[in-house]
Amino acid sequence: MDFAAASGIDVFSPVSHTLFDPAEIIEKLVFSFGKWKNGGRPPVTYQAFVAVAGQPPEPVMEEYSELPPVGDTGEYELLPVPKVEELGYGDISQEELSPFRGGETEALKRMRESLHDKEWVAKFEKPKGDPSAFLKPATTVLSPYLKFGCLSSRYFYHCIQDIYRSTKKHTNPPVSLIGQLLWRDFFYTVSFGTPNFDRMKGNRICKQIPWTENEELFLAWRDGRTGYPWIDAIMIQVLTRHR
């Protein structure tokens, strides 16, 4: 940004990865109902987050077919998309790549396919989904597209709301599709406003566990010999897959 500013280029960096600006959510909590509260900390419960969040801003709906002119001459150069080999991944065949193709075009295509069944959208209820479903997943499988910015969370939210308005009845947060997007924003807000959120030490909302180093217990966990059937079954499955 400093380089751009030195070159006379105005840089505008909107918060667009989430439905809400995490800083604004925390600010709402700081001064709520006419009094200071929460000490400037983020909401640590879903209910507290939803209570202050409100409705997200409308998404940008304009579609662009060409780039705006750059520089005084109005000329610009479109660089080609680099090949996988040029990114340093070597010679990777198509069969070894993930079946999930990237990009906005693919993201929008998958979103429209997921939302085509309006009854499914209206009745979506997360706890009742089957996480092991494969041929027809229990969710939209749009998380990676939201994560990498291929799909706008606000646009997704807007499209779901359009379907809700066209149906007589639908599920509500926290179990609905809208509820899942709110869960996503809730965790983004908590992580944004909590120092050391990704670790235990120095994290005020994480339980401080007195971990010990015991080689015998570690090997029992690694080899599926803890005596806890659920834990051992998982570890044995992991070991089998890596042999």
Question: Which residues are annotated binding-site positions for FAD?
Answer: 139-143, 180-187
Q: What are phi and psi of 35, to 5 degrees?
A: -145, 155
SS3 237: helix
Distance (Å, rounded) from C-alpha 180 to C-alpha 114? 15
Q: Which residues are annotated as a binding site?
A: 139-143, 180-187
Question: Which residue has 């900390």 as its token pair?
Answer: 41
Question: Which residue has 């803890």 as its token pair?
Answer: 226
Measured on CA atoms in the order 127, 133, 138, 142, is the torsion positive or negative? Answer: positive
Tokens representing residue 29 in the block: 């909590």
Distance (Å, rounded) from C-alpha 46 to C-alpha 225? 37
Write out the DSSP string of 53-90: H-PPPPPP----SSPPP-STT----PPPPPPTGGGTT-
